[in-house]
Amino acid sequence: MDLPHTFNLPDNPIIVFDGECVLCSRFFHFVLKHDKSQQFRFIIAQSDLGEGLYQSLNLPTDDYETNLVIVRGQVFQKADAFAAVMRELGGPWRIFALILHVPHWLKNPLYSRIARNRYRIWGRHDQCMMPDDALRSRFLDGGLND
């Protein structure tokens, strides 16, 4: 799926994630640790920009069950989003990009089951994650709600 042209986003790979989800936040920290070139940019789904992206893709904005990953204007969701991040990280992580070739009927039900139960299994932050000053420059929305 391509990103609507109404958004003027940088060419960097972008991860849009649920800032209240503990599992999503752990994935965010994993990417930070392994993104040695600091290529990834981030948007918290609950921010104005994040909500706008979900709305433009006709995705619900009351429950962010899928992270979005945008690479060169192409939007990835669910298991494909994870695979796209791994491909962009490179190195040994590229092996997980093979998920892109698994049929959706096989990979997405598993992803959806985990996503539906993510708060129950891993927990939920009381409020959205707020990046510190060192990370704020990597957030396209400043990491804050407007």
pLDDT digits (tens, 9 = 90+) for 42-78: 999 989 999 999 999 999 888 888 889 999 989 999 9
Does residue 26 carry a pLDDT above 80?
A: yes
> pLDDT at position 63, please?
81
Pick from 95, 9, 12, 1: nearest CA to 50: 9
Does residue 108 carry a pLDDT above 80?
A: yes
Q: How many CB atoms lie within 10 A of CB 136?
A: 13
**What does the alpha-carbon distance between residue 50 and residue 55 come to, in Å, rounded to a whole number?**
9
| H-state helical runs in the chain | 22-34, 48-56, 78-89, 104-116, 118-122, 133-136
Does residue 145 carry a pLDDT above 60?
A: no
Q: How many CB atoms lie within 10 A of CB 64?
A: 24
> pLDDT at position 24, please?
86
* Residue 113 vs residue 3, higher pLDDT: 113
> pLDDT at position 112, please?
84
Q: Are 48 and 143 in contact (CB under 8 A)?
A: no
Pick from 70, 83, 71, 65: nearest CA to 24: 65
Q: Which of 75-79, 112-116, 142-146 has the lowest mean pLDDT?
A: 142-146
Average pLDDT over residues 123-146: 70
Q: Are 64 and 46 in contact (CB under 8 A)?
A: yes
Taking the model in full, what pTM does it have?
Answer: 0.85
